[in-house]
Amino acid sequence: MTSWWAPARLAAAALTAAAIIAQLIRTLERALHAPDSWAAHLPTVVANFFSFFTILSNVGAVVALALGGVWLLRHRHGAEPRWLSVLFACVATYMITTGIVYNILLRGIPLDQGSTVWWSNEVLHVVAPLFLLADVLFAPQRRRLPWSTLWIVVAFPIVWVVYTMLRAPLITAPATGAPSWYPYPFLDPANVGGYGGVSLYVVGIAVAILVVATGVLAVGRKRSVRPVVSAA
């Protein structure tokens, strides 16, 4: 399986990177052709783009898949290094959770077709998460990780939520002029009945992340192989 899983990872990394770049280009084009009040806030537009959990997770996926693909090409035996397994545990958890949250909470929300690249949207929310799920289930040479890795996996989502909730009220939405900018509707207190509603969504997603992370680690521990011990 190693012989073809490495190029599969590299192909998935290339497709995901292309999807991110395509959506970024569309976002920048729309900003540049919008009224001056929006175009003048181009740095904010870029910062907002990279403030989406989906985008950050997919950037992480590109890095993990590219590094993992290269590593498999160079090492046909033994378990992958611990840092790479931890990276994959994190990225797989975030991507699988992204796919679940998008298709349950956000799939039915109409998209602005002038600002959304449809194929990129599907790659980032469906194709890439499914590939990372397949990587968890089938990728060769997985290393056994301790359960304490859960703390590493949940660290980034916690930092992201804190960053988002602190930043959002300070940012004027470039497109609408609204006095705040939230990457997702369920994080905006005005949409969910206040911060109590936001808290419920955050707790629900946190539980989902923990459940997914536990599953990712459990599968990895079951499928792990022994590290290669170098001769002295």
Domain limits, the chain: 2-223
Q: What is the pLDDT of residue 72?
A: 94
For residues 115, 117, 118, 121, the Cα torsion angle rounded to the nearest 10 degrees is -100
The verdict on pTM exceeding 0.85 is yes
Q: Print pLDDT tens along the chain (232 aa).
A: 667 899 999 999 999 999 999 999 999 888 887 766 555 578 888 999 999 999 999 999 999 999 999 999 998 777 899 999 999 999 999 999 999 988 887 776 655 545 789 899 999 999 999 999 999 999 998 999 999 999 999 999 999 999 999 999 999 888 777 889 999 888 999 999 999 999 999 999 899 999 999 999 999 999 887 654 444 3
Burial degree of 113 (CB within 10 A; 0-12, 13-18, 19+): exposed
Both tokens of 132, joined, read: 């990372």
